[in-house]
Amino acid sequence: MLRSGQIGVGVLVGLLLVLPLVLTPNLMNAAIKMMIAGLFALSFSLAMGQAGMLSFGHSAYYGLGAFATLHLMRAVEGSLVSWPTPLLPLAGAAAGFLCGVAFGWLATQRTGVYFAMVTLALAELLFTLAPTWNSVFGGEAGISTMRMNSWSINFASDTAVYYLTFAWVAVSTWCLWAFTRTPMGRLALAIRDNEHRVRFLGFNTHRAKTLIFATSTMFTGVAGALLAIANEATNYTIFSAQASANVVLQTFIGGAGTFFGPALGAAIMTFFARMTSDLTRSWLLYQGLIFVIVMLFVPDGIGGLISAHARRLGTTAVRHLILPYLLCGVVGALLAVGVVFTVESVHVVMSDAYLVLRRANEGALVPYPLFGRTFNPLSAWTWAIPVVSILAGAALLPLARRLAQRGWSQALQERAA
């Protein structure tokens, strides 16, 4: 019998296979970046979620994978070696694994915050060295190259890159999932829960942790390699602490406790960033707000939320939750409208363009344009929009919570009966 998880994976794979037929080039590119981000987050969460090693420097292996691949691509371009394009990520995997063994051997001597600090220091070392080390990292400009055609596939097209990325992400994801089923994968969980006891049982935990870390960085290297193939260029900023932090952020939004959660979080946040960065300059603020809200109210992340519903509720019991969740959606939308309207208004009113406009009108607070309309900053109606929507949202919030709780208990009762 097929379980719902397997059906879900099957549907996802099928969807991703036919997706290029309907996507615009811009969305195709977004889909490629989402898959890469998903793999990055999955490989990170092997170290974080499975073995409990919070790495704050995973961008190091991401970047090294990308640079290794670009160097190989340059060698192929210069006819120094011959290497088929579809197998380029192997270079990233090798770079990620080797550096993972070396750096991981150092870092896994420490645990907890100290481990995070060692990984951070290693990544920051690379970040500060790379712009000055021209021969390897191409200075501040970085290095770039071209994809070569091979196996009679034309890699100039985005579709080819899409399928190449998809194939590697799918195989890597399967490997990562399979790894959790191996004795080594079980050992990772045991180390996370009680390292002392594992050591007492006679395991060499340092060696095991190094190997788990290196496995994680190997797939991070693959993700970096795929990015290099898609972009055909990279520079030292790929090593930044920001990049390392991003993957931590995405993993926790998705849910570090579940297998697919991190990939989901990464895909959603990458898509969100891509869509909103074109629309507003304050998108990082929204991203930060979403992150803080998830940390405060959904500590298990989106994946944790989904798996809690799937695990504890039957499909029929969900009907008790439809109405409460609709109300929750309305509350969320009201609050979002209020916040977005306020932020965007501030953004327009504080901008230089508005200042020029005010000067032209002798300092008067003239109406400002927003969302294709104009608003008068002195009018009560303008102020009413955010105030009313936030107040309404805040007033409905307790009701929504109560209804959701009641729905949950009803659903659980029905399940039990």
Binding region for another protein (CB under 8 A): 54, 106, 109-110, 112-114, 116-118, 120-122, 124-125, 128-129, 132-133, 135-136, 241, 245, 248-249, 252, 282, 284-285, 287-289, 291-292, 295-296, 299, 343, 346-347, 350-352
Nearer to another protein, 22 or 350 (CB): 350
- Cβ closest to another protein, residue 85 vs residue 251: 251
Nearer to another protein, 143 or 313 (CB): 143
Nearest distance in Å: CB 342, another protein: 10
| Straight-line distance from the first to the last Cα atom of the chain, in angstroms, rounded to the nearest whole number | 24
Residues 148-161, buried b or exposed e (16+ Cβ, 10 A)?
bebeeeebeebebb
Least gap, CB of 350 to another protein (angstroms) = 6
Asked if residues 247 and 59 have their Cβ atoms less than 8 Å apart, the reply is yes
Residue with tokens 């989901």: 264
Q: How far is the CB of 136 from another protein (least distance, A)?
A: 7
By beta-carbon proximity to another protein, the closer residue of 166 and 252 is 252
What crossing angle do the helices spanning 25-45 and 205-231 adopt, rounded to 10°?
170
Q: Is residue 98 exposed (0-12), middle (13-18) or buried (19+ Cβ within 10 Å)?
A: middle
Q: Is 13 left (phi over 0), alpha (psi -120 to 50) or beta?
A: alpha
Tell me how far, at minimum, the Cβ of 402 lies from another protein, in Å.
20
Of 108 and 217, which has the nearer Cβ to another protein? 108
Task: Give the integer Cα–Cα distance in Å for 310 and 43.
Answer: 24
CA-CA distance, 142 to 124, in Å (whole number)?
A: 17
* Least distance CB 240 / another protein (angstroms): 9
Q: Least CB distance from residue 304 to another protein, whole Å? A: 11
Residue 119: count other Cβ atoms within 10 Å of its Cβ.
28
DSSP β-bridge partners for residue 404: none
Instruction: Specify the residue, 278 or 352, whose C-beta has the smaller distance to another protein.
Output: 352
